[in-house]
Amino acid sequence: MGESGKMGKSKVVIVGGTGYIGRRIVKASLAQGHTTHVLLRPQIGLDIDKFQMLLSFKEEGARLVEASFDDHRSLVDAVKEVDVVICTMSGTHFRSHNILLQRKLVDAIKEAGNIKRFIPSEFGMDPARMGHALEPGRVTFDEKMEIRKGIEEANIPHTYISANCFAGYSCPNLSQLGSVLPPKHKLYIYGDGNAKVVYMDEDDVATYTMKTIDDPRALNKTIYLRPQENILTQRELVAIWEKLNGKKLEKISLSADEFLASMKDMDYANQVGVAHYYHIFYNCEWCEMQKSSDTLITAIRFLLTVYIMDIFFYQ
């Protein structure tokens, strides 16, 4: 059984540590003084970029632990060495989609019997509030709810993290689909452009996630990351960009029907993305989030959206 690590802080293993959010959580875990293990899977193959990233984590103080989802015993052994498991495996269809692999991780945690907190791979919209989601985008939420069901049926202590929109994907491109680059001349405004959206800096998501693992208030709760200053409409986001850039962009409004019709000739991964954007920019998921009572407030200085935009503009 894992014993408390540095200065009484929990020992952590991070699954998916080379991914978009995972690499940030590894760094946040080390920065906050946790004994940090990172799962090294044999399936890494010849991916030298991931391997070099793992080696850099080791140089910073992390321990690499070899285990495979095809080897149940190796997962159990990896879990037994720590107190907390954080999974950050990708759930986006345009990269890789591995949400259901977590079923094997849940089985390992259940058998190990020592884990005091499990944070599964979520970090976006709260799947428990997305039962009405459109196809094909709802597959993401359905799969996350399947993992939640397994966690709760196994009585595994847990925390779910909901962060809505990652700034890296939604700010520099002014929330335009298909590119992370900012539009030069014109852009699409979704509906009237006045739906409230939460734009979260990814490093803040990692910092806040690590803050929850030893906080008893977060036990078996859904934690919504919603810094008030980062809740903006698309039009407000565009206005920040125009002020930084010193010029106005042509704005083309898309009705909900026009937006959904754009899925017709897209591949499956992009259809999923359109469905998710619909719920953010047309169905106002933030309006639903405001009804939540399970919100943990912690003293963290979030990177405000206006500064996020400033960073992207001047890089």
Q: Which residues are annotated as catalytic?
A: 144
Judge contact between 160 and 144, C-beta under 8 A.
no
Contact residues for 236 (Cβ-Cβ < 8 A; gap 6+): none
Helices and strands (DSSP H and E) totals, the chain: 12, 14
Q: Is the peptide bond before 172 cis (omega within 30 degrees of 0)?
A: no
Nearest to 232 by CA among 301, 178, 276, 174: 174
Encode burial over 107-138: b for 16+ CB neighbours within 10 A, e otherwise: ebbbebeebbbbbbbbbbbbbebbeebbebbb
DSSP 8-state code for residue 158: B
Positive or negative CA dihedral for 25, 125, 97, 218? positive
Judge contact between 14 and 25, C-beta under 8 A.
yes
